Amino acid sequence: MNELNNKQLLELIKTDVEGFNKYREEYPNQKIDFSGAYLYKANLEGANLEGSNLYRADLLWANLQGANLKGVDFYGAYLGRADLKGACIEGAYLKGADLEEAYLEGAYLKEADITGANLQDAYLGMANLQGSNLKGANLRDANLEGANLQGACIEGVKITLTKENIEAIKGAIL
């Protein structure tokens, strides 16, 4: 397969995630830039987007279950109601991202920068947020049941203090 540009790759991932992943295996060092991309309700389950640029992308209602999002730049991206169950989001940049009502059960967000992100009404049950920076994030009505926030910075976080959330933030840094 010949090397594709970002526009061609965007069309490929929208129609054939498996084909996109095979392409990534063939061209592992190519920088993927989907900044501002419209991926509303896209089925990206299992997609390998590691290290990609999704700056201000629209991923409302997108299915990103089990996706590899390690090191992805989601600055200002819209991930409202997105399904990120079991996704690897380690070291991702989610500063200012909107994840309102996102489903992040079992997501791996270790050392992610989630500064100022909106996680209102998000489900983070069993998510790993170890060492993440959540400074100033909105976690109102979010569910952190069983989440790991060991060493996470939660300075200035707006959070609903339920029994489960209090238990989850015990190991966090205030």
Place of tokens 């109601």: 81
The residue among 88, 96, 98, 99 whose CA lies nearest residue 113 is 96
pLDDT tens digit sequence for 21-42: 999 999 999 999 999 999 999 9
pLDDT tens digit sequence for 101-142: 999 999 999 999 999 999 999 999 999 999 999 999 999 999
pTM: predicted TM-score of the whole model, two decimal places: 0.97
- What phi and psi, each to the nearest 5 degrees, are found at residue 171? -95, 5
- The pLDDT, as a whole number, for residue 1 is 78
